[in-house]
Amino acid sequence: MRSFDPKSVPKPPNGQAFDWSATQDPVVLEIGCGNGMHPLQFAKANPTTSVIAIEQTQNKFEAFEKRIAASGPIENLFAIRADAIWWCAHNLNSPACLEQIFLLYPNPNPKESQANKRFHNMPFMGFLLQFLKPGGQLHLASNISAYVEEAKTQFVSTWDLTLREEKLLNSNREPRTAFEKKYLERGETCKNLIFEKK
């Protein structure tokens, strides 16, 4: 697998630089947070944790901003509209700065020709995991069993993470994302995996 060169990645537009001095330790990163349901809940439940939530799609990010406005100010939540790869390449500031990474229902890029676009198959993942602390966790959720199995293999064999938990989700739980809510209501099987960095 080729290596990831952050210098080759464009800088995010619209002044998406990040002030790390405004954060507090620990720091959690969520990529592809959609309308912000999960990071908003997580930030409220963990007021001493800085939560960086990235969403690229305009309409989803606007829905996220409306959620924030309706809930009132949340000082430990940082909502970023950007391409996550671009943003991480230029804003992650030092090795082992992240406590947790969330990839909840990422785009599965289901076609075989799209396999190299899946996060667990991308050289970017090796770059990103440099910033996860030893003992830090990566959370992955999906409703697509083939995606889960491929991701599980890659995170363990290629990225040297330890699988700590593999759990089926059911409709009795409080959904974390709009996708999770939709899939559980339709009776689909959703699975949550937690990996740990050695």
98-153 confidence digits (pLDDT tens): 999 999 999 999 999 999 999 999 999 999 999 999 999 999 999 999 999 999 99
Write down the pLDDT at residue 13: 77
**Is the residue at 15 inside a domain?**
no
Q: Going residue by residue through the chain, which has 198 residues, state the pLDDT in tens, using 9 for 90 and above.
A: 778 999 899 888 766 677 888 787 899 999 999 999 999 999 999 999 999 999 999 999 999 999 999 998 899 999 999 999 999 999 998 889 999 999 999 999 999 999 999 999 999 999 999 999 999 999 999 999 999 999 999 999 999 999 999 999 988 889 999 999 999 999 999 999 999 999
**Is the residue at 157 inside a domain?**
yes
Amino acid identity at 111 = K
Write down the pLDDT at residue 66: 96
**Is the residue at 13 inside a domain?**
no
Write down the pLDDT at residue 15: 60
Domain carrying residue 155: 25-197
Tokens of 190: 């959703």
**Is the residue at 140 inside a domain?**
yes
Write down the pLDDT at residue 177: 97
**Is the residue at 18 inside a domain?**
no
**Is the residue at 187 inside a domain?**
yes
Write down the pLDDT at residue 43: 97
How many domains does the chain fold into? 1
**Is the residue at 146 inside a domain?**
yes
Write down the pLDDT at residue 23: 83
Spatial CA neighbour of 5 closest among 99, 101, 122, 161? 122
- 37-44, Cβ contacts within 8 angstroms, sequence gap of 24 or more: 37/67, 37/175, 37/176, 37/177, 37/178, 38/102, 38/104, 38/176, 38/177, 39/77, 39/79, 39/102, 40/64, 40/67, 40/68, 40/71, 40/74, 40/77, 41/176, 43/74, 43/76, 43/77, 44/71, 44/74
Name 5's Cβ contacts closer than 8 Å, sequence gap at least 6: none
In this structure, what CATH number is given to the domain that contains residue 49? 3.40.50.150
CA atoms within 13 A on the CB side of 104: 24
The partner residues of 80 in beta bridges, in order of sequence, read 54
Write down the pLDDT at residue 166: 98
